[in-house]
Structure 1
């Protein structure tokens, strides 16, 4: 593997890095890579995998940085990437998606992702303590085409206080593969919660679902709905 990284100057730890197979050539997207110590750090590369142009990004936001300023920076970054149709983002943005309705900037960030037709690959807590469970690390992709197969999850180990997030994306679906659906038998939904869910669902641009096959459209819809239910119920 080759390691592409951006290291901090003022501190001996921190920074962002992307490991990529030595058999795969790539280039750094300098116009997207930003490094502002004590605020946010990002690194973007572009490569070609199986004939597909793929943009990979790694983004970290420090907990003490200005949340509103970061959301503005991130929205501008996605605007620069609007023509990239195969984008994968690994993030530790220090926004807890479980508290999206209690923190305006977290809500704004989630709306930016959903409005841009990104799939949130992680829906379980990524940082767990004796008193708190938060979802602050995630992997996002806008590649949810007909033949795309996405598998994601968490690695349960204690090397760090954050659980490593995992994501495997294949652009060719194996024949006869069936998607597994988790069925929730009962939810206690109050009228106020139902109203908030309806409002959030109406804010999302669902047009992209018309351009993909029914199985993948259902997977994307189900994952998005799951995030909304977890944050509002």
Structure 2
């Protein structure tokens, strides 16, 4: 069964790609992602010399959410279909990390979506800042999806920070296959992580041509449903206070 077979008016599909420069790949994206509702891209390699009209995709909103680097590399982007409501949540972002937070409204459902890129050289406090943002996010919407390229292999046992974060918030990674395969390694670097209030009906990894990316695309289809109340919401808010104090000290 393919992702297209499951798509319905009661589902929202998300495709997560490390694109390794979007500039010459618009035609590929137009054909590859047309069936999806939301496209999450990392390593766009864009700057303010590239206007939104230069990277338009048919049937997607003409003003995608972007966070460009001022120097080479990196960069984030979120495309959404024209019938999906997107509200940027700048208050959940910071000036250090490459992260975009948006609230998605579609098909009678809403959730927060975080697109984040963590380069391998990122400082060790990245995880504390992400936990801080998640704690704040819970006060906005308890339905949360986190995707992007975390450069932290979930197929390895040596990922204490990411695994600790998922355990703390009762999150689950829905991608079970490697997203980057070489002659020497198979790593899961591009997860899609969801809160326990999120229902999903499909997840998989789609192979991309080598000239598009050295990562494969990770995909999830969410089933729209009513919100579920969290029993440990109070504990998360208490943890949030501790994180805030720790960040202020540093």
Structure 1 length-normalised TM: 0.65
Q: Which of 68, 72, 81 is the matching residue for 1:7? A: 68
- Largest Rg, 1 or 2: 1
- Note the C-alpha offset of 1:22: 1.4
Q: Match of 2:112, SS?
A: strand
Indicate the structure whose relative CO is greater, using CA pairs within 8 Å and at least 6 residues apart: 2
**How far apart are residue 35 of structure 1 and its match?**
4.5
Inter-partner Cα distance in structure 1 for 2:113 and 2:196: 12
Task: Work out the CA distance in 2 between the residues paired with 1:78 and 1:149.
Answer: 20
CA offset digits 1:174-218 (Å, max 9, x no partner) = xxxxxxxxxxxxxxxxxxxxxxxxxxxxxxxxx78xxxxxxxxxx
Given the alignment of the two structures, is residue 20 of structure 1 paired with residue 77 of structure 2, yes or no?
Answer: no
Q: CA deviation at 1:156?
A: 1.3
Q: Deviations over 1:17-46 (max 9, x none)?
A: 11111122221100112353xxx3000111
Is residue 126 of structure 2 the alignment partner of residue 73 of structure 1? no
Name the SS of the counterpart of 2:91 in structure 1.
coil
Distance apart, 1:71 and its partner CA: 1.2
SS state of the match for residue 83, structure 2?
coil
Conserved in 2, the CA contact under 8 Å of 1:122 and 1:153? yes
Structure 1 gaps of 5+ residues are: 173-206, 209-233
2:143 maps to: 86
Distance 2:127 2:221 in 1: 27
Unpaired stretches in structure 2, ≥5 consecutive residues: 1-59, 226-230, 233-250
Change in 2 beyond 3 A, CA 1:35/1:18 = farther
What secondary structure, in the 3-state scheme, does the structure 2 residue paired with 1:124 have?
A: coil
> Aligned-pair RMSD on alpha carbons?
2.2
Check whether the contact 1:85–1:143 (CA below 8 A) recurs between aligned residues.
no
Q: For residues 14 and 108 of structure 1, do their structure 2 counterparts lie closer, same or farther at Cα, with a shift above 3 Å needed?
A: closer
2:126 matches 1:109: no
**1:128 alignment partner in structure 2:** 181
Across the two proteins, how many residue pairs are aligned to each other?
165
Q: CA deviation at 1:55?
A: 1.1
State the partner residue of 1:49.
Answer: 106
- For the residue of structure 1 that corresponds to 2:220, the secondary structure is strand
* Aligned counterparts of 2:217 and 2:155: Cα–Cα separation in 1: 18
Residue 97 of structure 1: SS of its match in structure 2? Answer: coil
Q: Does 2:206 align with 1:149?
A: no
